[in-house]
A and B are shown apart, each in its own frame.
Chain A
Amino acid sequence: MSKTPLLEIEDLCAKVADKEIIKGFNLTINEGEIHALMGPNGAGKSTLSYVLSGKQGYEVTSGKVLFKGKNLLKMSTEERAREGLFLIMQYPVEIPGVPVTTFLKHSVNAVRKHQNLPELDTMDFIKMVREEGKKLGISNDMLKRPINVGFSGGEKKRLETLQLSILKPTFAILDEADSGLDIDALKVVADGVNAEHNEHNAMLVITHYQRLLNYIVPDYVHVFADGHIVQSGGKELALELEKTGYAQFVKEK
Chain B
Amino acid sequence: MSGLLQEIKLFGDNIPWLEALREKGKEAFMTQGLPTAKTEAWKYTRPRDLQTDDFVMYENEDTEECNHCSCEEEEKKDACHHREIKNIPIEGYEINFYNGKLQHNHSELPKGVFIQSLPEAIIYNDEIKHYLGKIVDINNYPFAALNTAYIEEGVFIHIDKGIKLDKPIILINHTHSCHENLYYNIRNVIVAEKDSSLEFLEVYKYSGIEKSRYFANIVNEIYIGRNAKIKHYKLQEEAFKAVHIALSQVKVKEGGEYKSFCMQKGANLARNETKVQLTEEKAKAEVNAAYLMNGWATIDTTTDIEHLSPETCSNQLVKGIVGGDAKGVFQGKIHIAPDAVKTEGHQLHKALLLSDRAEIDCKPELEIYADDVKCSHGAASGELDAEQLFYMRSRGIDEDTAKQILIEAYLEDLFSQIDNEQIREWLRVSK
- Give the interface of A toward B (CB within 8 A): 53, 55-56, 76-78, 80-82, 86-87, 89, 92-93, 95-98, 102-103, 106-107, 110-111, 114, 146-147, 163, 167
8 A-B pairs with the lowest CB-CB distances in the bound complex, closest first: A97-B409, A81-B396, A107-B395, A110-B396, A77-B393, A97-B412, A111-B396, A93-B387
- Are A163 and B393 interface neighbours, CB within 8 A? no
| Chain B CB within 10 Å, residue with most, of A56, A82, A102, A103 | A103
Shortest C-beta distance, B28 to chain A (Å), equals 44
| Chain A CB within 10 Å, residue with most, of B393, B399, B406, B412 | B393
Shortest C-beta distance, B143 to chain A (Å), equals 35
Shortest C-beta distance, B193 to chain A (Å), equals 39
Provide the bound-state CA to CA distance between A55 and B390, in Å: 7
**Which residues on A sit within 8 Å (CB–CB) of B412?**
97
Q: Which residue of B lies closest to A113 (CB)?
A: B396
- Are A98 and B406 interface neighbours, CB within 8 A? yes
- Are B388 and A114 interface neighbours, CB within 8 A? no
- Are B388 and A95 interface neighbours, CB within 8 A? yes
Supposing A95-B409, A97-B410 touch, asked if A56 and B396 sit within 8 A by C-beta, the answer is: no
**Which residues on B sit within 8 Å (CB–CB) of A81?**
393-396
**Which residues on B sit within 8 Å (CB–CB) of A56?**
386, 390
**Which residues on B sit within 8 Å (CB–CB) of A86?**
394
Among B387, B397, B406, B408, contact of A110 (Cβ-Cβ < 8 Å) = B397
- Are A78 and B408 interface neighbours, CB within 8 A? no
Q: Is the interface of B mostly helix, strand, loop or mixed?
A: helix
**Which residues on A sit within 8 Å (CB–CB) of B410?**
97
Which residues, 354 to 387 on B, are CB-close (under 8 Å) to A?
385-387
Shortest C-beta distance, B164 to chain A (Å), equals 32
Shortest C-beta distance, B361 to chain A (Å), equals 25
**Which residues on B sit within 8 Å (CB–CB) of A96?**
409
Provide the bound-state CA to CA distance between A106 and B398, in Å: 9
Supposing A78-B397, A163-B395 touch, asked if A97 and B390 sit within 8 A by C-beta, the answer is: no
Provide the bound-state CA to CA distance between A53 and B401, in Å: 18
- Are B397 and A106 interface neighbours, CB within 8 A? yes
- Are B409 and A106 interface neighbours, CB within 8 A? no
Shortest C-beta distance, A200 to chain B (Å), equals 19
The contact sample of 28 A-B pairs, CB cut-off 8 A, is: A55-B390, A56-B386, A77-B390, A77-B393, A77-B394, A78-B393, A81-B394, A81-B396, A86-B394, A92-B391, A93-B390, A93-B391, A95-B388, A97-B408, A97-B409, A97-B412, A97-B413, A98-B405, A98-B408, A103-B392, A103-B397, A106-B397, A110-B396, A110-B397, A110-B398, A111-B396, A146-B409, A167-B395
- Are A78 and B390 interface neighbours, CB within 8 A? no
Provide the bound-state CA to CA distance between A93 and B413, in Å: 20
- Are B396 and A167 interface neighbours, CB within 8 A? yes
| Chain A CB within 10 Å, residue with most, of B390, B399, B412 | B390
- Are A110 and B394 interface neighbours, CB within 8 A? no
- Are B388 and A76 interface neighbours, CB within 8 A? no
- Are B396 and A76 interface neighbours, CB within 8 A? no
- Are A78 and B396 interface neighbours, CB within 8 A? yes
Among A76, A95, A102, A147, contact of B393 (Cβ-Cβ < 8 Å) = A76
Q: Which residue of A lies closest to B385 (CB)?
A: A93
Q: Which residue of B lies closest to A57 (CB)?
A: B386
**Which residues on B sit within 8 Å (CB–CB) of A77?**
390, 393-394
| Chain A CB within 10 Å, residue with most, of B385, B401, B405, B409 | B409
**Which residues on B sit within 8 Å (CB–CB) of A53?**
394
**Which residues on A sit within 8 Å (CB–CB) of B413?**
97
Q: Which residue of B lies closest to A89 (CB)?
A: B391
Please give 10 more A-B residue pairs, beta carbons under 8 A apart, in addition to A78-B394, A97-B409. A55-B394, A56-B390, A78-B396, A81-B393, A89-B394, A93-B388, A93-B390, A95-B388, A102-B405, A107-B395
**Which residues on A sit within 8 Å (CB–CB) of B394?**
53, 55, 77-78, 80-81, 86-87, 89
Shortest C-beta distance, B291 to chain A (Å), equals 18
Q: Which residue of A lies closest to B411 (CB)?
A: A97
Shortest C-beta distance, A192 to chain B (Å), equals 16
